[in-house]
Chain A
Amino acid sequence: MAKPPKTGGRTAPTQAASTTPSLLASFFSCPLPLYLSAAFLRVVFLLYGLWQDANSPVKYTDIDYLVFTDASRFVSRGQSPYERETYRYTPILAWLLLPTAHVTGNPLLDVALFSSGKVLFAAADLLAGWLLERVLAKSMDAAAARKFAAIWLLNPMVATISTRGSSEGLLGVLVMALLSTVVAKRVTLAGVLLGFSVHFKIYPFIYAPAIVWWMDRERMSGPKASTKKPQAATSLVSQALAFVTPTRLQLAITSLATFLSLNLAMFAVYGPPFLHQTYLHHITRIDHRHNFSPYNTQLYLASASASSALPGAATTTDTPSIRIESIAFLPQLLLSCVLIPLAMAKKDLPAAMLAQTFAFVAFNKVCTSQYLLWYMVLLPLYLPRSSFLQNPRLGITALVLWVAAQGLWLQQGYGLEFLGRSVFVPGLWAASLGFFGVNCWILGVIISDVGRRG
């Protein structure tokens, strides 16, 4: 946080002499200081990471980055990226990182090439931040928009995740691009982006109902068309017919076409392993390893009794556990794909998407820290008018609770993972339910905020 004023001072020397608030204001008065410091932050993290990797047995680079780059190496040899165990992504990711598989023999150049994927992810961060600023600028002045975009751009957690080589930054840019094209009413491009995002990481499919609901006739076809509309909305059938607008059809067709053609193309190249690793794995996986999800302990119990590893307990726990497991997606999808879009999308699309993501992650059967980044990119769009900022006490309470609940869980996780303590019940279970409770409360506040706007 010490860096921004310094860079600001350099670009605007006249104001540098004045007090801190104007220094801060000058920092946001033009784009360059913000983006330079965001880039600088990432360069520093990247270089530090290279140093740590070269000098410590504990690596800065994320394991996932090694998975991606190994997969790219397979691709560069003309093989399938799915030759790499645990590569569970679209082949496009491995293709994007092909430069990392290139070896020249010059050690410095090779390190640079190997890190090129991290550079790509970090650049995606910046691009997502820029898109964020553009969307924000529609409802506030440019300086204020940059101030809120800085929550993403100068967030050390975001910078760490992308420079460690996690691909979540690419998703941030995709979601922001999707949102900004939707808001700009560029329907075809939005459809392509939606189809591509879902191909890339599945979960953005939740945005489809919100966008579709938001794209009503009045909004999409200007004031002239809206005058014609009301007379049609009489019977249920005509209401349903009125729902099917040309723009909604256009979005549905372009997104489906993009999604399907990408999948067909990938299937044609890599066959069943593509389908299995990228999509089906998420259905059949047994996520016994502890994570933040409220379902985690229950799933562990259920998977063991399903494989009849619990001869005595199987008869008593079998029936109810299997039932919970197979209906767990219901509250999650009902909230994130139906109820939230219906109630919120037309009032505030970005906030609705934030709430959808929040609900999807909180109610998911698996939840790791990376998933928390999925809603982080949407947060700056909601915060400006949120009661968390208007009532700082509420904001700080929410932040403290959110962090503390994770801290509590991590403490239990540490006891299990490193000290070998059997803390599954009640410790880890209670901690994950606690985090779930905090998430539900925060989600409730977000929803009420949007409701208040009427």
Chain B
Amino acid sequence: MRERITYVLKLGDSLPPSELTIDASSISGPEVTAVREDRLTIALNELPAELQTLVTGAQGLHIRWVGTTSSEAISPLLARLPPGFHVFFTPGKDDAVSQKLCPTLKDVFGGVSCSTPGESFTSLPKDRFSHSAALQYFQQLDSLSPFVQYAKDQLCGPTDAFCAARLDSLSTASSLDISYDKVQEVLKVTAAWPYQSQQVHAATLPGLRTEVGILSSDKFKTLEPHEIGISGLLTVLGQNKEPSPTMFSFPARHREAESTFSAQFLTPTGLHPTLQLRLASGTGPAPLFAAAADDGDEPACTPYAYLTLPRTIFADKYQLSDPLFLASKNLTALRYTTQPVDLEAPEYVMSQWGSSVLVQLSPPPPSGENGGGEWTAELPFHLRYLAPAQGGYAGISVPYPAVFWACAPEAGVKFPPNPFEKDNLGYDGLFDQRTVFWHVEPRPVDGGPLVNTVQVPVLDLDKAGWVNAGTAAAVLVGFAWVAWKLLGVYSRGGGAKVEADKKKQ
């Protein structure tokens, strides 16, 4: 088991080595404003048995949880996902393992409501780019506490206060990532805490290799345009008595657009709510290499919104195919939607988790009146009928989208895996592997959570008591009335008919 603890400071911030105190098993220092990221690398044989069969039986498994509190992302930990619980899964040959996935997820995370990958998961496209998982699942999950409890039961001894405290701290984490690496046969569990002021402190245990980094991004002269530079201090607890200064760089696919957006439903929402995205800037990033800037008519970088929509709400791909309609909403095109999405079924008969959509947005032209300034784009959705409820309304919540500018691949640029980036984010598989994503920070107007709620009108159960009897009575009365009229015709007309027959005789 290995652990990597990283405090990531902002560009230009740094900590003098003299301010760190290092002893045989711990490190401590002053208060810094930073993102803290802890990564635990667990070998296969160190895993609980049920997780062992699961991860080895799968071709690929990535579980990502993102909290709903908005926080600033710090380079290089920039990749964003809609808040909630994401699973990207490629089944292996053994179907029994797939069948165990959902029960195991339920055990580990609590409140996960999938039944089997076949019923609840959706397929991801595998035709264009093959670098993503086969199946996707998403649901809202506000709290990690069931996971914390599970991890404590599995990992900590009954009297191990240190272990329990470490795990308890997850309750304030902003994200959690669990990925199984097939090549190295290790499970990587990565948690991150929001950018905030905190004391530098880490400790290790016997049998655990703990490396502590206090790093910040840096712009050295030798840096290539597609690279990010990192500098700072690294300490392996128990080995180093002094922090060793370090400096390295790597090509980075995820960048900071240095801009913000908010998302809100326009009122009244009705049964066809429109999510309005308000973007602070209409000017996108420039391509990394100047040569690509004027390449062709298409701008090299265009903005996108990636949404994971619970099954209560969906986008109609046919509605989003008309250029005039799209233009009126400041959209360019619906680039991807989960297939198929039932356009009619009520929510309560569906087992699929929902759908993910990727929409290309259309910023105002830079030369125009409002070019480059704040602008909006509207995403039209439709609600499904929800189950009848007391009071006549049911609330649903829709997570914030991930909004980013994607820049077309540039010649000769490659992005090998690096220690701070993740793949299998849902949207990265919809682009070429060399696409660079410039992330726009979600910042709700009221500073609230990264979730919008909609009040959906439903049949009011308090008033529905008469519906069955009333409908039956109305139909019966209507039928009786028409039948009575028919009887009149029949008796009169029938008689006439008999008379006519008699005359003929």
Contacts and interface: CB of A to CB of B under 8 A. Distances in A.
B324 interface: yes
A148 interface: no
Contacts of B460: 422, 424-425
Interface magnitude class on chain B: 35 or more
Given A307-B349, A347-B493, A440-B478, A448 B488 contact: yes
Interface stretch (A250-258, A295-303, A388-396, A397-405): A295-303
Contacts of B456: 420
B391 to A, nearest CB: 8
Interface string A432-448: 01001101110110011
B387 A331 contact: no
Contacts of B420: none
A343 B348 contact: no
Chief secondary structure at chain B's binding surface: helix
B349 A286 contact: yes
Contact of B268 (A57, A419, A441): A419
Given A335-B482, A420-B269, A56 B324 contact: yes
B349 A429 contact: no
A106 B460 CA distance: 55
- Interface on chain A toward B: helix, strand, loop, or mixed SS? helix
B472 interface: yes
A433 B470 contact: yes
Interface in A413-428: 416-426
A416 B388 contact: no
Contact of A454 (B325, B459, B493): B493
Given A226-B504, A230-B505, A303 B489 contact: no
B349 A425 contact: no
Nearest to B390: A312
A59 interface: yes
A334 B478 CA distance: 13
B270 A420 contact: yes
A423 B393 CA distance: 10
A340 interface: yes
B475 A301 contact: no
B154 to A, nearest CB: 32
Contact of A303 (B346, B463, B487, B497): B346
B385 interface: yes
A426 B392 CA distance: 11
A417 B471 contact: no
**Most A-side CB within 10 Å, residue of B270, B393, B464, B488:** B464
A297 B471 contact: yes
Nearest to A86: B343
Nearest to A359: B482
Interface centre among B345, B388, B456 (most CB of A within 10 A): B388
A344 interface: yes
B468 A426 contact: no
B471 to A, nearest CB: 4
Contacts of B476: 331
B474 A294 contact: yes
Nearest to B461: A313
A12 B278 CA distance: 64
A85 B340 contact: yes
B96 interface: no
Contacts of B494: 343
Interface in B26-58: none
Interface string B385-421: 1011000110000000000000000000000000000
Nearest to A230: B505
A70 to B, nearest CB: 8
B270 A417 contact: yes
A297 B467 contact: yes
B272 interface: yes
A346 interface: yes
B481 interface: yes
B458 interface: yes
Contact of B459 (A297, A419, A448): A297
Interface string A131-143: 0000000000000
A451 B459 contact: no
A334 B344 CA distance: 30
A447 B466 CA distance: 31
A342 B148 CA distance: 73
A331 B486 CA distance: 13
Contact of A230 (B343, B479, B487, B504): B504
B392 A424 contact: yes
A309 interface: yes
Given A294-B474, A363-B475, A443-B482, A289 B272 contact: no
A185 interface: no
A50 to B, nearest CB: 13
A335 B484 CA distance: 11
Most buried by B among A328, A422, A440: A422
Contact of B388 (A313, A362, A429): A313
Contacts of A359: 482
A437 B458 contact: no
A310 interface: yes
A13 B63 CA distance: 82
B490 A342 contact: yes
B13 to A, nearest CB: 47
B457 A424 contact: yes
Contacts of A56: 324
A288 interface: yes
Contact of B486 (A343, A422, A425, A433): A343
B486 A447 contact: yes
Interface string A50-73: 000011110100010010001000
A330 to B, nearest CB: 9
A137 B268 CA distance: 54
B496 interface: yes
B485 A447 contact: yes
Interface centre among A57, A289, A340, A346 (most CB of B within 10 A): A57
Nearest to A287: B344
The 4 closest A-B pairs by CB, nearest first: A422-B392, A451-B489, A309-B348, A309-B387
Given A286-B345, A436-B474, A444-B484, 14 more contacts: A85-B340, A226-B504, A288-B346, A294-B475, A304-B388, A331-B476, A334-B479, A343-B487, A363-B478, A419-B268, A420-B456, A422-B393, A437-B478, A443-B485
20 contacts: A63-B318, A70-B318, A227-B504, A297-B471, A301-B459, A307-B348, A310-B461, A321-B468, A331-B478, A335-B483, A346-B493, A420-B456, A422-B458, A422-B459, A424-B388, A424-B392, A433-B470, A440-B481, A443-B482, A444-B484
